[in-house]
Copies of this chain bind each other. A is one copy, B any other.
Amino acid sequence: MPDADVVVVDRAKYAGNVGSILRHMPILGGVQTLFLANSAHRSGSPYPPYPRSFIKEVMRVSMLQHYHEFEARFCLLDGGAEELMHLLEMLKSRGFALMMLENVEEFEDMPVPTQDRFHYCSIYDKASAIRDVRAPIAFIFGGESGEPMPELFTTCDVGGFIPSHEADHKNANQHEAEECENRCLQRMHSCNLSIAACIVLSERHRLRIAQQHEHARSFLRCTELVDGPLTFAQKGSIWQSYLAQYFQGICACATWLNICGIKISK
């Protein structure tokens, strides 16, 4: 079974936002762990990156009432930038695509040397890495306190942003003199961290559902199972092996039958 997606949050400011992402991860499908890092924290410092009260508030908002539930989904990285980079390298070596999520302005303003190499696009773009639902993704959110760590532009594979409606309208027919001011306004109009993360996770969830539908339909067309003379048990067995082969057990058979609009009668 392949790895599920993970979320990495660097330098969070509000515990409520981190807790809210944890609360919605089980609903929005397929995310296994949230890693909370603080790359501004100096390695070797005796103080942890987040106070104990911060983590308690994360746990409260996450609605994961039992500590073992919380512990199974939440991982604190208190070793500063070094430990964060170590995590990202480890994820990369396991086949994760590292996707940095930021406001579009952060990508436009990125350091010149990386501008040619680093590809970013809207999460709704057909070229977005988010669409490849077979490869696990590490969604990296940062900069709730300050700008994202510069190393992320060289370490991450791709960047993604949520397209803003305001930005579209403001860019239309504007004079260059106004541009600076408008861009400052856009910065103010960015999404809250937990909203942004949940929009990205729900888009990934939607794509996964769509892909399951697509495969279920093409499989049914290929084998003509719907109108064939097979019994339910035979169909189930073929489905099971198909699923095992192509989807490595990500999705339970009952879900598939449900997707295909077929009900199993007992």
- Do most interface residues of chain A lie in helix, strand or loop, or is the interface mixed? helix
Which of A107-115, A146-154, A252-260 forms contacts with chain B?
A252-260
1/0 contact string of A158-183 vs chain B (CB within 8 Å): 00001111101101110000000000
Residue A127 is within 8 A (CB to CB) of chain B in the complex: no
Q: Is A75 an interface residue (CB 8 A)?
A: no
Note all chain B residues with C-beta closer than 8 A to A162: 27, 202
Task: Determine whether A155 belongs to the interface, using a CB cutoff of 8 Å to chain B.
Answer: no
- Interface residue A226 (Cβ < 8 Å from any Cβ of B): no
**Contact of A27 with B252 in the complex, beta carbons under 8 Å:** no
In the complex, which residues of chain B have a beta carbon less than 8 angstroms from the beta carbon of A252? Answer: 168-169, 172-173
Contact A165-B29, Cβ < 8 Å, known A24-B195, A124-B209, A195-B195: yes
* B residues less than 8 Å from A210 (CB atoms): 124
| Chain A residues bordering chain B, tally (CB within 8 A) | 42
The answer to whether A56 has its CB under 8 Å from any CB of chain B is no
Q: With A124-B210, A251-B168, A253-B172 in contact, is A26–B195 under 8 Å at CB?
A: no
Contacts of A164 on B, CB cut-off 8 Å? Answer: 27, 29
Which single residue of chain B is at the shortest CB-CB distance from A190? B27
Closest B residue to A212 by beta carbon equals B168
Cβ of B124 and Cβ of A166 under 8 Å apart?
no
Identify which of B20, B26, B172, B255 contacts A189 (C-beta below 8 A): B26
Could you show 23 A-B contacts with beta carbons less than 8 Å apart?
A20-B192, A20-B195, A24-B191, A26-B166, A26-B189, A27-B166, A27-B190, A29-B164, A30-B165, A63-B189, A124-B210, A168-B252, A168-B255, A169-B255, A171-B258, A172-B252, A172-B254, A172-B255, A191-B198, A195-B198, A198-B199, A199-B202, A202-B203
